Amino acid sequence: MDRIVPNSTKRITGAYGWITLPNGKPYNHKGIDLGFDLYDENKNIIFCNCYGVVEYLLDGLNKGDKTGGGWGNYVLVRHPNGMYSKYCHLRKGLPVHIGQEVDETNMLGVIGESGDTMGRHLHFEVQTNKSADSRIDPTPYLSEPIWKPEPQSNLKYRASTKEEGWGDWKNAGDTAGSVGFGYGIDLLQIDSIEPMKVQASIEDTGWVDFGEINKDTIIGIKGKAIECLLIDGNYTIRILARKWSNNTITDGKVTVGSVGEGIPIEAIKMVTGHTREPL
């Protein structure tokens, strides 16, 4: 309770597992219910368990509306270890959006009674993967984070721009390249302890496969802007091309940038996968 509804004095009102409904029927309750505090609205504010990305949400539903399965207004968050947390029956008017990065400092909503409920409460679930079949007892996660960051590795990288040549080697989370000058990166070097394969889409050239790289590999062609990168490895990458991109990660493959639009990558920030990027 300290983590999800930190200000609440209310405790678990519905346990995980088989329960008996008011009509006497047995029901396998795949989450836990947390009580609503009648006396102080601030005590009903729900926070995310830990860092993740809002995978899906439903908003605008009232009490009794079974749209979307009866969860009412809810937020589903994907965490970096592949686990999910779900916060249901929230009051409508959610303060987050799909794709938003959130953590334990982000309010996800207020305890409500939207959807198929008999009264105001939070229904909280934890899944070990994307399938609802993977739901586990979420009770430990009222106080424990679902995911914790790993220490940063020795990832380093540096970028060259056509205009200014090579910049300094940067540490994970730092910006290499230039911000605000409209310069494009032409060359990139990455020093990583983890294996990594890189392809780059290059101005006037198209895709070039640099294979498995090491710290001596020069990615790019001198004087030609890198427009898009495809990196196969356990990395989260942000690039600046007009504006900072969102992280795009699919099964360890990251594609960042654009192809054929003539927009150079101006700057790049990298972190190893499963490590929260300093925002």
Choose one: 23-31, 142-150, 181-189, 270-278; the region binding Zn ion (CB under 5 A): 23-31
Site for Zn ion in 70-129 (CB under 5 A): 123
Q: Is the CB of 44 or the CB of 275 nearer to Zn ion?
A: 44
Choose one: 9-17, 96-104, 109-117, 211-219; the region binding Zn ion (CB under 5 A): 9-17
Q: Which residue is nearest to Zn ion (CB)?
A: 123
Structure tokens at 81: 């270890």
Contacts of 49 (CB under 8 A, 6+ apart): 3, 4, 77, 79, 85, 104, 126, 141, 145, 146
CA-based torsion, 84, 88, 93, 95: positive or negative:
negative
Q: Is the CB of 31 or the CB of 233 nearer to Zn ion?
A: 31
Choose one: 18-26, 33-41, 172-180, 223-231; the region binding Zn ion (CB under 5 A): 33-41
Choose one: 13-21, 129-137, 171-179, 199-207; the region binding Zn ion (CB under 5 A): 13-21
Q: Is the CB of 138 or the CB of 233 nearer to Zn ion?
A: 138
Per-position x/- string for 119-158, each x denoting binding to Zn ion as judged by CB under 5 A, each - no binding: ----x-----------------------------------
Asked whether position 30 contacts Zn ion by CB under 5 A, the answer is no
Sort 17 into a burial class: Cβ within 10 Å, 0-12 / 13-18 / 19+: exposed
- CB count, 10 Å around CB of 198? 20
Residue position matching structure tokens 């090579």: 166
Asked whether position 33 contacts Zn ion by CB under 5 A, the answer is yes
Q: What is the DSSP letter of 115?
A: B
Distance in angstroms (rounded) separating the CA atoms of residues 198 and 257: 13
Shortest distance in whole angstroms from residue 93 CB to Zn ion = 21
Sort 2 into a burial class: Cβ within 10 Å, 0-12 / 13-18 / 19+: exposed
Which residues lie near Zn ion (CB under 5 A)?
Answer: 14, 31, 33, 123
